[in-house]
Chains A and B, each alone.
Chain A
Amino acid sequence: MTINLKTSTVETREQRLGTIIGWDGKASALAEESAYARGECGGCGASGRGGAKARRVCELTGPFTQGSVCSEQMVECQAGNIRDALLIQHSPIGCGAGQVIYNSIYRNGLAMRGHPVQNIRFISTNLRERDMVYGGADKLDAAIRAAFERHAPKAIFIATSCASGIIGDDVESVARHAEADLGIPVIPLHCEGFASKHWSTGFDATQHGILRQIVRKNPTKKQEDLVNVINLWGSDVFTPMLKELDLRVNYVIDMATVEELAQMSEAAATVTFCYTLGTYLAQGLEQEYGVPQIRAPQPYGFAGTDAWLREVARVTGREDKVEAFIEREHARVRPKVEELKKKLAGLKGYIATGSAYSHSLIGVLREIGVQVDGSLVFHHDPVYDSEDRKQDTLDHLIENYGEVEHFTVGNRQQFQFYNLLQRVNPDFIIIRHNGLSPLAARLGIPAIPLGDELHAFGYQGMINLGEAILAVLQHRKFHQDIAGRVKLPYKKSWLAEKDPFALARVAAE
């Protein structure tokens, strides 16, 4: 089923793709249960005809399943990071608790990309008891107008919240009025925390709003050398790489300008560093504006990067340039990878990140000779919006790099993370989100935090990641000291538990 841009609310991931947040087993079994024409797993019933994309994967649900942020916060870190726009949080003030951390990430990102550093621009309507009873529409209207006067933004986003969603506050008509009066897009993004169990629905909510209200509807010109890159805050690795193919980069959504978002419909193609993040927007651009999305594995490791580059070249008509570039890069990188392999031999790594991203990182680790017996991903999309098997990142992993024995889908529950690590006993872990390294440290395991999501990207990424591992191993002794001196807060019975999902299985009986 195509995505539906007629309604203002995005369809949640669980509804659209069949996303789950609890599962444990071999990676190949999950790939088997998932989509891409492999059929149903049979256990949880057939997928229906409405929401035809969604596949039913048997989900493990326990008493503690959800353990991280909500969709609203993903709206903050996308819609809130557009340089000349502004985000209004139509919510109680508590939903804005992440503003501080998002500000620091935003400022760092701006600096890293060479943009003028500025503070993030969020305004909370601070919904209170009175507003819950009488409605918060007037307050929202006042906030929009204040925002416009204070900051003269080129667009205003409105993040809804549990509170505004429950009382059914009429965000739509307030936005419509303001848009007509102010002459800039005023875009409601429906991201009530209760509506979806997985935060990535918040990515989709932002992208849905941008597709509906910012992207230029009737592009008069085509920019045949422009590629939309759906990205976060990381360093600029796409520009030098795509330059080799005479392509220019249009980074979206974070740190883009409203105009850069608007011109997405003029581009020659859309790519992303991670299908978990980019699936919705890329599909929307293809469906509505005919901008092709790159249907290939993600660009990590040799096989993935080769295939990805070739597909970018094919779609943009640059086949003549690509082979020479691939050859040069192989020649440059291979010897270094061989070097690294020697140094990294015998090491075991563990990856705890977002879903598609982990699939690729496992491949990178195996390219550089690191053993990976387990991984934790925070959710699993059985299929991405394109429904194209060429984007099946889990399958790409298994086909090119083999089985992952202990593959876990879980939403960052600390108590489970303990058993997960015990089970495979890695030398280090790779993470991107906060809250995971302290527990690992207490077990004597150092963590590599990939704050820059593009560190492991492309050919160079293999070298970068290898070097990061060598660096972090220097801390091993420090971590072992920590482990020797701290106690974990869990009961003995839990410490002895082998099955990270023991509680979920009891609950399921």
Chain B
Amino acid sequence: MSKKLKQIAIYGKGGIGKSTTTSNISAALAEAGYKVMQFGADPKADSTNTLRGGEYIPSVLDLLAERRRVDAYEAIFQGFGGIYCVEAGGPQPGVGCAGRGIITAVELLKQQRVFEELDLDYVIYDVLGDVVCGGFAVPVREGIAEHVFTVSSSDFMAVYAANNLFKGIEKFSTAGGALLGGIIANSINTDFQREIIDDFAAHTKTPIVQYVPRSLTVTQAELSGRTTIEAAPKSEQAEVYRALARRIADHTESKVPTPLGPLELREWSAKWADRLVEQERAAA
């Protein structure tokens, strides 16, 4: 292999804007001339939609369900800027085992040496939020990805999911697993939101990689089945994503995070809940 492949996993709670952020990072990296693969590891299999004009692609597991033997290339589709799009796929909610799905899909691509053959610069895994079971930890723990970033808003549930992820990373850190690159703070529009996420970052000794404001441009781009980079390349928001992609590209040193314990997390969130109530009262 001529160049060093950089593998990055982006985790975040469902609905937090993780796929949007990931796709924009991929798009920005591709725009900057890198060869990128985006690997969606969410049973919804819609991670790469905005890279392919809103189109769904058959997932690795869809193909495996149909036939016994799958050529990994049948599950790889090119999208915006030549980005290779792959969806692991998975079962319907409430049935089967989505975690096993991720294990199977990742294994298949690794065994067929797809990453080497495509001579990629970046593989970006877009992984569903909470690290609930062994399968969801695969990109972290097997050292498949070297760096993990988490997309989180200032929402308590999102912070909770991020904290869980930190626990997973901490657990596997001594066993050659991936380390934490930092938090991508999403939908941060007010100072108060920023304070919350900053405080969480401080408590867990985690850097914030980038603050990404909520923006109508993103929604409009998504509705047209595109990333912001593609749909509104000149927008302010596109610049934000480009800056984020640059940071990720330049990022070299990840760390073992220090997650909050269950009690600490509760106390921490109670503290912020109180402040929130105070603030609202003051506003009223």
Binding site for B on A (CB under 8 A): 4, 6-7, 9, 11, 14-15, 18, 47-51, 54, 56, 59, 135, 165-170, 172-173, 176-177, 197
- Among the listed A14, A50, A56, which residue makes an inter-chain contact with B72, where contact means beta carbons less than 8 Å apart? A50
B43 at the interface (CB under 8 A from A): no
Chain A: which residue is nearest B117 at the CB level?
A50
Instruction: Using A49-B71, A50-B71 as known contacts, say yes or no to A172 and B100 having CB atoms under 8 A apart.
Output: no
Instruction: Using A4-B113, A173-B176, A177-B175 as known contacts, say yes or no to A15 and B70 having CB atoms under 8 A apart.
Output: yes
- Among the listed A48, A172, A176, A197, which residue makes an inter-chain contact with B68, where contact means beta carbons less than 8 Å apart? A197
B74 with A135: CB separation less than 8 A:
no
A48 with B71: CB separation less than 8 A:
yes
- Among the listed A14, A49, A59, A167, which residue makes an inter-chain contact with B133, where contact means beta carbons less than 8 Å apart? A167
CB distance from B111 to the nearest CB of A (A): 5
Instruction: Using A7-B107, A166-B97 as known contacts, say yes or no to A15 and B137 having CB atoms under 8 A apart.
Output: no
- Among the listed B111, B135, B172, which residue makes an inter-chain contact with A7, where contact means beta carbons less than 8 Å apart? B111
11 contacts between A and B (CB under 8 A): A4-B110, A18-B69, A167-B134, A168-B99, A168-B133, A172-B175, A173-B172, A173-B177, A177-B174, A177-B175, A197-B68
A168 with B107: CB separation less than 8 A:
no
CB distance from A118 to the nearest CB of B (A): 34
Question: Which residues of A sit under 8 angstroms from B97, Cβ to Cβ?
Answer: 166
Question: Which residues of B sit under 8 angstroms from A47, Cβ to Cβ?
Answer: 71
- Among the listed A6, A15, A18, A168, which residue makes an inter-chain contact with B135, where contact means beta carbons less than 8 Å apart? A168
Bound Cα distance from A141 to B109, whole angstroms: 29
Chain B: which residue is nearest A3 at the CB level?
B111
Question: Which residues of A sit under 8 angstroms from B177, Cβ to Cβ?
Answer: 173
| Residue picked from A6, A7, A47, A59, most chain B C-beta under 10 Å | A7
CB within 8 Å of A: which of B46-98?
68-74, 97
- Among the listed A15, A18, A168, A176, which residue makes an inter-chain contact with B175, where contact means beta carbons less than 8 Å apart? A176
Bound Cα distance from A11 to B141, whole angstroms: 20
B70 with A176: CB separation less than 8 A:
no
Question: Which residues of A sit under 8 angstroms from B279, Cβ to Cβ?
Answer: none
Binding site for A on B (CB under 8 A): 68-74, 97, 99-100, 103, 107-108, 110-114, 133-135, 137-138, 141-142, 172, 174-177
- Among the listed B108, B110, B172, which residue makes an inter-chain contact with A170, where contact means beta carbons less than 8 Å apart? B172
Bound Cα distance from A172 to B111, whole angstroms: 16
CB distance from A171 to the nearest CB of B (A): 10
Question: Which residues of B sit under 8 angstroms from A56, Cβ to Cβ?
Answer: 69
- Among the listed B72, B113, B138, which residue makes an inter-chain contact with A168, where contact means beta carbons less than 8 Å apart? B138
Bound Cα distance from A51 to B108, whole angstroms: 10
Bound Cα distance from A176 to B72, whole angstroms: 29
Question: Which residues of A sit under 8 angstroms from B108, Cβ to Cβ?
Answer: 15
Question: Which residues of B sit under 8 angstroms from A51, Cβ to Cβ?
Answer: 69, 71, 112
Question: Which residues of B sit under 8 angstroms from A166, Cβ to Cβ?
Answer: 97, 100
Question: Which residues of B sit under 8 angstroms from A54, Cβ to Cβ?
Answer: 69
CB distance from B1 to the nearest CB of A (A): 11
Instruction: Using A7-B111, A173-B141 as known contacts, say yes or no to A48 and B99 having CB atoms under 8 A apart.
Output: no
CB distance from B112 to the nearest CB of A (A): 4
Question: Which residues of B sit under 8 angstroms from A197, Cβ to Cβ?
Answer: 68
Question: Which residues of B sit under 8 angstroms from A168, Cβ to Cβ?
Answer: 99-100, 103, 133-135, 137-138
A170 with B112: CB separation less than 8 A:
no
Chain A: which residue is nearest B73 at the CB level?
A50
Q: Given known contacts A135-B134, A173-B175, A176-B176, what 13 new A-B pairs fall within 8 Å (CB)?
A: A6-B110, A9-B111, A15-B108, A51-B71, A54-B69, A56-B69, A165-B103, A167-B133, A167-B134, A170-B137, A170-B172, A170-B175, A173-B172
CB distance from A208 to the nearest CB of B (A): 11
Bound Cα distance from A168 to B135, whole angstroms: 5
Question: Which residues of B sit under 8 angstroms from A167, Cβ to Cβ?
Answer: 99, 133-134
CB distance from A395 to the nearest CB of B (A): 23
CB distance from B187 to the nearest CB of A (A): 31
Chain A: which residue is nearest B138 at the CB level?
A168
Question: Which residues of A sit under 8 angstroms from B100, Cβ to Cβ?
Answer: 165-166, 168
Question: Which residues of B sit under 8 angstroms from A7, Cβ to Cβ?
Answer: 107, 110-111
Instruction: Using A14-B68, A51-B69, A173-B176 as known contacts, say yes or no to A9 and B107 having CB atoms under 8 A apart.
Output: yes
Question: Which residues of A sit under 8 angstroms from B172, Cβ to Cβ?
Answer: 170, 173
A172 with B69: CB separation less than 8 A:
no
Bound Cα distance from A135 to B111, whole angstroms: 26
A15 with B113: CB separation less than 8 A:
no
- Among the listed A6, A15, A135, A170, which residue makes an inter-chain contact with B69, where contact means beta carbons less than 8 Å apart? A15
Question: Which residues of B sit under 8 angstroms from A18, Cβ to Cβ?
Answer: 69
Instruction: Using A9-B111, A48-B74, A135-B134 as known contacts, say yes or no to A172 and B142 having CB atoms under 8 A apart.
Output: yes
- Among the listed B69, B70, B107, B134, which residue makes an inter-chain contact with A169, where contact means beta carbons less than 8 Å apart? B134
Bound Cα distance from A210 to B153, whole angstroms: 47
Chain B: which residue is nearest A17 at the CB level?
B69
Chain A: which residue is nearest B113 at the CB level?
A4
Chain B: which residue is nearest A136 at the CB level?
B134
Question: Which residues of A sit under 8 angstroms from B74, Cβ to Cβ?
Answer: 48
Bound Cα distance from A166 to B114, whole angstroms: 24
B111 with A4: CB separation less than 8 A:
yes
Bound Cα distance from A56 to B71, whole angstroms: 12
Question: Which residues of A sit under 8 angstroms from B138, Cβ to Cβ?
Answer: 168
| List of 3 A-B pairs having minimum Cβ-Cβ separation, nearest first | A168-B134, A48-B71, A173-B175
Instruction: Using A7-B107, A9-B111 as known contacts, say yes or no to A170 and B134 having CB atoms under 8 A apart.
Output: yes
Bound Cα distance from A49 to B68, whole angstroms: 16
Bound Cα distance from A110 to B103, whole angstroms: 39
A11 with B111: CB separation less than 8 A:
yes
Chain B: which residue is nearest A15 at the CB level?
B69
Bound Cα distance from A469 to B24, whole angstroms: 72
